[in-house]
Amino acid sequence: MLTTELDAVIMRRLAADMFAPFNAVQIRVSIDDIDPPAWRRLIVPIDWNLEQLHLTIQAAFNWWNYHLHEFQIGGLRFSDAAAAYESSSRDDPKVFEQTDVRLRDFTRSGARFNYLYDFGDGWSHTVELEQWLSLDVAPKKAQCIDGARARPPEDIGGIPGYQRFLEILADPSDLEHDETKQWCGGYFDPDWFDLATVNKDVSNALKPNVKRRLHQPKPRKA
């Protein structure tokens, strides 16, 4: 009898866990065309909209959020519709309002779409909704749980400019080496990733007037 009652309790708990409502989504964001890739894995509240996801991606890579951006989903464009309208021409495809789409509107894990930041440099990101989550406590902030490598410097000139930038830094005899090193704050490591630093940035993503680091943190002296 006791065994039967215990089994029933276990089954009720399993059923409760199985049918618990989702309150978060695990997302992987990677910058395209960089090898090895620069990427972040995030936990984000499921009721957040695309504007909040935009701010979270900016924080996760320490982008400075002073260029235009858009999400490209199913052949449609989503961004700040008013700002996009002001900068668009008559023949440009319509841009839909990003605050009208929430993460909970996506119906399956594995869904992918693109996030484009800085139409000049053209930093394309692949966003993958890896897993829907039922956390014990519904999150109010985003969280970074994993990642790798640094994002390129702002205004570097896209992928070709970034490749040239790395070549210059790797060659002290290059005529542009000293000036380039000074421009990037005296230090740049493409393999840099510090989870604690990035997670702090992500947790503050929605705070107003958040200051971004101008340069990559320098390694601490031993």
- pLDDT tens profile 60-103: 999 999 999 999 999 999 999 988 877 777 778 899 999 999 99
Same domain, 138 and 79: yes
The rounded Cα 46 to chain-centroid distance in angstroms is 15
The CATH number for 39's domain is 3.10.290.30
Does residue 129 carry a pLDDT above 90? Answer: yes
What single DSSP character describes residue 63? -
Does residue 144 carry a pLDDT above 90? Answer: yes
Domains in the chain, number: 2
Q: Is residue 141 part of a domain?
A: yes
pTM above 0.75, yes or no: yes
Q: How confident is the model at residue 211 (pLDDT cuts 50, 70, 90)?
A: confident
Same domain, 88 and 178: no
CA 12 to each of CA 8, 19, 136: distance values in angstroms, whole numbers, following the listed order: 6, 11, 17
Q: Is residue 139 part of a domain?
A: yes
Q: Is residue 11 part of a domain?
A: no
CB atoms within 10 A of CB 82: 9
Q: Is residue 76 part of a domain?
A: yes
Q: Where does 62-121 have alpha helices with state H?
A: 81-87
Q: Which domain range does residue 173 map to?
A: 152-188
Same domain, 203 and 103: yes
Closest listed residue to residue 103, CA positions, set 54, 26, 47:
47
Same domain, 97 and 205: yes
Tell me what pLDDT residue 16 has. 45
Mean pLDDT within 184-201? 96
Q: Is residue 15 part of a domain?
A: no
**Does the bond joining 36 to the residue before it have cis omega, within 30 degrees of 0?**
yes
- Give the tens place of pLDDT for each residue, 103-121: 999 977 789 999 999 999 9
Mean pLDDT is lowest, of 55-59, 146-150, 213-217, for 213-217
More confident residue, 32 or 18: 32
Would you call 222 helix, strand, or coil by DSSP?
A: coil
